[in-house]
Chains A and B, each alone.
Chain A
Amino acid sequence: MISTIFAFINAAIIQSIPLLFGATGEIITEKSGNLNLGIPGIMYMGGISGIIGGYIYEHSTASPNAALCIIIPLLSSIVGSLLLALIYSFLTVTLRVNQNVTGLALTTFGIGIGNFFGGSLLSFFGETGSISLIKTGQCFKASLPFANKLGLFGKTFLSFGFLTYLAIIIALVTSYFLNRTRAGLSLRSVGENPATADAAGINVTKYKYLSTLIGGAIAGLGGLYFVMDYTGGAWTNNGFGDRGWLAIAIVIFAIWRPTTAIFSSFLFGGLYILCIYIPGLSSSAKELINMLPYVVTILVLVIISMRKKRENQPPASLGLSYFREER
């Protein structure tokens, strides 16, 4: 029984990591007033970019170096995510296009790129079958050498690849950044009231760009984690599923707080796999459990709007573009 519980906790943590990356990235983005609904697409992009980088490296050398196995996919994933986030920023901030329209188009685009390259990458290199980067996957999964020696506790909490810890560290750093630094204060002001931020001498455009780019890169790591650590270097089209939307749900559920997002991700990750651990659950009930995260998110959204506590509201300018000389 105990071991089942620990196994469940372990699996929940694994499930929660892509969500946490996505949620943290979206929180940073939304704090600048950009509702980036392209995050699901960016996460696909982060995943496939990592796959492409890893594939090219693993196939160009006979004996892949472990450090490069990590660095190359990591960098290529970040570059891919940045590229999409850049498209979003350019369209919504510089060209002031509607954020919802841009974000949704970006998601279509990103998922398209992911599935296109995921399905055709091997054929470009004259190979057949499905992508499987075993070596790279192993490098990403590599955990602390002594983790398994620490018994159940070690297995449950310390047996993860480095991206797991990175996700939590990034969330904590983001929380510190938003609440305890000058730049964080400025960023929040841009999302609350860009005209006021502008009058205070804050470069609204710069903050919107940077937060969307950095947020995109972080979210993309969620995709990378999924393809490298979770699936061990394999790609299946649409395998990432709707985790990107779940990440956006977590942002609301956590009321735009990165530290709360850590626990929310864990909770949502747990719900994602709960049915496997409850014996005798029918497959239909499983679908209902998968519905739960969205239902509770809606409830949270409704409750914060009813309670009207000012600190818990979405950033006030969320979804609106800013034009200084609007008259």
Chain B
Amino acid sequence: MAVAAIELKNITKRFGTKVVANKNVCLTAYKGEILSLLGENGSGKTTLMNMISGIYYPDEGQIFINGEEVVIRSPKDAFKYKIGMIHQHFKLIDVFSAAENIVLGLEEEGKYDIKTVTARVKAITEQYGFDLDPNKKIYEMSVSEKQTVEIIKVLYRGADILILDEPTAVLTPQETQKLFAVLRRMREDGKAIIIITHKLHEVLSLSDKVAVLRKGEYVGTVNTAETNESELTEMMVGKKIDLNINRSEPKDSVDRLEIKNLNCVSEEGIKTLDNVSFTVRSGEILGIAGIAGSGQRELLESIAGLQPIESGEIIYHNPKTGKTDELRGKSPIQIRELGVRLSFVPEDRLGMGLVGNMDIIDNMMLRSYRKGKSMFLERKKPKDLAERIIKDLEVVTPSAQTPVRKLSGGNVQKVLVGREIAAAPTVLMAAYPVRGLDINSSYAIYNLLNEQKENGVAVVFVGEDLDVLIELCDRILVISSGKVSGIVEGRGADKGEIGLMMTKVDGGAESGC
């Protein structure tokens, strides 16, 4: 048996006293092999890889490189053992050029000369067929260019063990294929490659072995050739769970929100929403499916009045007055003043939806504190609301005066959703509301959404788990790179079909290199 390029034994990592991100994880990767690390969001994949690359330090356990036990205390140690990680969030210095970023932190022999570096970078780009100007500054680059820089950085260092954290999340299918070709070439060079992903088709088409994590724990490793999608899914999510989400038929469904030809451009000048049109109806749940970063956030934020819009219309059909209102270009307050009861559960709970350092009561006030003419705060009603939410949604907390950052993820989400629902909305938008939650909390959230739907609220649900989307939603809107690739009925929807729509790209204009 060959010596493993890298072996992890019983790695445990805790954050604070309560959160166990990794528990007794074992993992082995060999040279000349591609290992997929599979797991749902929040299963501890990234934390584990961060310990190999020296960002975190494990609380317990051992790491072996080529059969010898090592201690990786810092990213520098990781480099020493020829470990290279390509992070999901790029670790690049914006004001530096590509070449400067590539050589950053490298201790090469001889005098530092950016021209030599540039020449070497050019050689690597030509060898692998990348398209990159080494002198371009990072802040002028597109996302895929930035990823190219990250990959070249690792290649430049001649890493033997490569870790890629969800590298395809930001790429078009063509770019993905190109990346896979590069990875296969590196495998032939005898490198050990670990790729983190939760996309099964990528796992099956690329890797030799698959290691699965579930809730921070190691489930097992299988040979790709001997497995299939359903077995992997089972390993990933545990034993096959029938989701059993109740779904009632929409009643008295009418048009509530009309989105017409919506276009958005990011601060960097990249088109995030491209001619998006759809209708949200009362008394139904509209699901939004898509690869992370396909414009979901921009879509919800532009409806909520938090994103500047290039062009298009957002029309609200007011059930009280029977009139229609244009929401485009209005601030959240102006939208509220129109009598539009729009609630929004954002993806970033503690960075946007709630204030971590404030207690539950003060977080309740975020939406309502303006009410009344008095210049002073009224804390009685928020306090009652906080206590009601704690009781009704079974929030586990020492008291209503506890800062929300001390609560667990599920309880934080209950507080947030509870507050948004308490405003008696006519439109409720929720972005990844069950991300990082355990099964019970997730069901609590599904039930809350269903309740709202039955009350005639128009619910928009952005999800990442296709099974949930198919079982929960009445209709599913699929977006891909900021464009609507189709809307399907939730009942009887085909997972494969949605999956294909998610990766659909028309033409080859943007990837014709």
Contact = CB atoms under 8 A, between A and B. Distances in A.
Interface of A: 180-182, 185-186, 188-189, 192-193, 195-203, 310-311, 313, 316, 324-325, 327
A315 to B, nearest CB: 9
A200 B91 contact: yes
A192 B95 contact: yes
Specify the main secondary structure of chain A where it touches its partner. helix
Contacts of B112: 180-182, 185
B105 A186 contact: yes
B89 to A, nearest CB: 9
Given A181-B112, A185-B103, A201 B91 contact: no
Contacts of A185: 96, 100, 103-104, 112
Contacts of B105: 186, 189, 197, 200-202
Q: List the 9 shortest-distance A-B pairs measured between CB atoms, nearest first.
A: A200-B105, A201-B76, A182-B112, A201-B105, A196-B91, A199-B91, A201-B75, A200-B104, A202-B105
Nearest to B79: A201
Interface residues of B, number: 28
B76 A186 contact: no
30 contacts: A180-B112, A181-B112, A182-B106, A185-B96, A185-B100, A185-B112, A186-B105, A188-B93, A189-B93, A189-B96, A189-B104, A192-B93, A192-B95, A193-B93, A193-B94, A195-B91, A196-B91, A196-B93, A197-B93, A197-B104, A197-B105, A198-B75, A200-B106, A201-B74, A201-B79, A202-B105, A203-B74, A310-B137, A324-B55, A325-B56
Interface in B94-114: 94-96, 100, 103-108, 112
Interface of B: 15, 53-56, 74-76, 78-79, 85, 87, 91-96, 100, 103-108, 112, 137, 139
Most central of A185, A198, A199 by chain B CB within 10 Å: A199
A198 B87 CA distance: 13
Contacts of A310: 94-95, 137, 139
B478 to A, nearest CB: 33
Contacts of A199: 53, 55, 75, 85, 87, 91
A101 B33 CA distance: 53
B54 to A, nearest CB: 8
Nearest to A195: B91
A311 B94 CA distance: 10
Contact of A202 (B85, B87, B104): B104
A241 B436 CA distance: 58
Contacts of B87: 199
Contacts of B91: 193, 195-196, 199-200
A204 B91 CA distance: 15
A162 to B, nearest CB: 29
Contacts of B95: 192, 310-311, 313, 316
Contacts of B75: 198-201
B86 to A, nearest CB: 11
A192 B74 contact: no
Nearest to A325: B56
A274 B87 CA distance: 55
